[in-house]
Amino acid sequence: MFISECLNVNSENHLTIGGVDTVSIAKQYGTPLYVMDEGEIRKNCRTYKNAIDAYYGGKGLILYASKAFSCKEIYRIAAEEGLGVDVVSGGEMYTAYKAGFPMDKVYFHGNNKTEAELRMALEYGVGCIVADNLDEIETLDALCAQMGKTVSVIVRIKPGIDAHTHDFIRTGQIDSKFGVALENGEAMDFFEKALLKKNIKMVGIHCHIGSQIFDLAPFEEAGSVMLNFMADVRDRFGLEMTKLNLGGGFGIKYVEGDTPIAYDAYICAVSEVIKKTAAERNMPMPEILMEPGRSIVAPAGITLYTVGNVKEIKDVRTYVSIDGGMGDNPRYILYNADYTALVASKAGDKPSMKITLAGKCCESGDLIGEGMDIQPVEKGDIVAVLATGAYNYSMASNYNRIPRPAVVMVRDGETRVVVKAETYDDILKNDM
Ligand code: LLP
C-alpha cells in the first residue's frame, strides 16, 4: 500500500516496517531515528543476483555501491548475500575490512584516490581498482613495484551517454570529473600508456552513467558502446579483457508519481545487448558487473521524527518542524529531492494537509520537502519520511553540532541497533 513493500499499516492504523509498529519503535529508541528492514535489503540483493543467473548464466557479480549506506552491518549482509561491494574511499574500505568482508570482492573507485588509500587497497588485497586516470596509474604502478605486488585494474570510461537525471548525479557525459572519455580518444590513449606498466593488469572497463534513472535505453546503449570499445581495444592492442562493469543508477520510487522499472529488467536488457554485441564483434562474453546502491537500500529505510510545532502562516504555508532535518537528510536542500511523509499513528488515513516539513537547523533552506501531502499532524506526532535508506545516513553531517541519529534494523519482527546514536561527547571527541 505504500511506496515500499516492507511498509504496511496495522490494526491500530499505525505504520509498520518489516511488520513492526513504527510508533513503538520511536517510543523505544527515541527520534530522530533511521529504521531499515533487513528483509527488504536482502530481497533486493537477491533480485539482482538471481537476474544475473537467469539472464546471463550467472557470469557476473553484483557489487553493492556502499556509498548509499555504509556501516559494518551492511557489508556483513552483502557478504552473506554473495555480493561484492564498490567502495569509494579509505573510510568505506576500512569499514568493509573491519566487517570481515572478503576483500577480493571489493572494487575501489574514486576520481582522486590518495596514495595512502591506494597503498591500503594493496595491503588489504582489494580485488580490483577502478582507475580514473593515468596519474593514478603512475602512482599505483610505483606502489606495486615498492610493495612487490601486481594489481587488477579496470578503467572508468565516460561513454558519452546523457542520462536524464539531476545534473549533480549525471556522470556519463564528457563534461564530468570522472574517468576518461571515449569520443576524444582519451580512453584509447589511456590503454596505450597503461599497458606499458608492468605491475598493472588491465582486466576490464567501467562506466556509471548517473543515478535515479528510470529508462532502460541508456543502460542498453552503455552496454553496446562499452563492449564495442572493449573489442576496439582488443583489435588495437590484442588485449582480451574479461570484465565489463556498467555501474549503478537504477531508479526507485520516492513518491507515488515515480515509475521505476523492475530491477531484473535492467539486467535482462543489458544481458541481451551484450550477447548481441559479443556475437557481432566475435568476442567471448565478458563477466558482467553492476553496481546498484540506492535501489538496494533506499526502499528499505525510513526516518522517524517527532513533531515539535506546527506553524500555520495564513495564505502562505504550514511549517511542520521536526527534530531532525538537513543534518540527517540533506537531499532536499541538495537536489530538491521528493519524499513521501506520513503521520505514523494515522498511516491508513487519507492525507488532508499540505505542509512544508522543516528541520531544526538554523537555516531557512533546512527542509525535507515542500507541498507535501500528509494526514492531519500536530505537536508530538511521529512523522515517517519514506525511502530514506540510501544517501541519508551516508550523507549525514553534524551541522549545528546535532548528533547523527541511530540506525535500527528490523528483522523477523525484532529490532536491533546497528549504528548507535551519536552523543554530544562524540561530537566533542576530536576537539582539543
Ligand atoms: N557506481 C558508481 C561508480 C557510482 O558513482 C554510483 C553512485 C553508484 C554505482 C550507485 O548508484 P545508485 O545505484 O545508488 O544510483 N548522493 C546522490 C547520489 C550520488 C550517486 C553517486 N554515485 C543522491 O542522494 O541522490
In order of their start, the domains of the chain are 7-37+300-428 (2.40.37.10), 109-292 (3.20.20.10)
**Cβ neighbour number for residue 128 with a 10 Å cutoff:** 26
> What does the alpha-carbon distance between residue 324 and residue 402 come to, in Å, rounded to a whole number?
9
**Best residue for ligand 1 mutational test, from 294, 303, 334 (most atoms within 8 Å of Cβ):** 294
Nearest CA to ligand 1 atom 16: 391
The pTM score is 0.97
pLDDT of residue 165: 63
CA pair distance 244, 226, nearest whole angstrom: 8
Closest Cα to atom 19 of ligand 1:
169
Show the cell assigned to 121.
587497497
Amino acid at 52: I
Q: Which amino acid is at 166?
A: H
For residue 350, the model assigns a pLDDT of 96
Please tell me the predicted confidence (pLDDT) of residue 22: 98
Q: Compute the distance between CA of residue 414 and CA of residue 405 in angstroms, rounded to an integer.
A: 19
The pLDDT value recorded for residue 1 is 65
Distance 122 CA to ligand 1 centre (A): 24
- For ligand 1, pick from 161, 211, 253 the residue to mutate: most ligand atoms within 8 Å of CB: 211
Phi, then psi, of 370 in degrees rounded to 5: -125, 150
Ligand 1 center to 100 CA (angstroms): 24
Report residues of the chain scoring pLDDT below 70.
1, 163-172
CA distance 111 to 165: 21
Nearest CA to ligand 1 atom 5: 208
Q: How far apart are CA 359 and CA 383, in angstroms?
A: 12
Among candidate residues 128, 207, 268, 362, the one labeled active-site is 362
Query: Ligand 1: distance of its center to the CA of 289 in Å?
Result: 15
CA 249 to centroid of ligand 1, rounded, Å: 6
Atom 23 of ligand 1, residue of closest alpha carbon: 391
Helix (H, G, I), strand (E, B) or coil at 403: coil
pLDDT at 169: 58
Residue 44 alpha carbon to ligand 1 centre in Å: 16
Decide: 301 and 387 in contact? Cβ < 8 Å: yes
The reply to whether 362 belongs to the active site is yes
The residue whose CA has the least distance to atom 9 of ligand 1 is 248
pLDDT of residue 100: 98
Non-local (6+) Cβ contacts of 242 within 8 A are: 203, 204, 284, 286, 287
Nearest-atom number in ligand 1 for the CA of 390 is 24
SS3 6: coil
pLDDT tens profile 360-372 = 999 999 999 999 9
What residues does ligand 1 touch, defined as CB less than 6 Å away? Answer: 65, 67-68, 86, 109, 169, 208, 211-212, 247-250, 291-295, 331, 335, 391
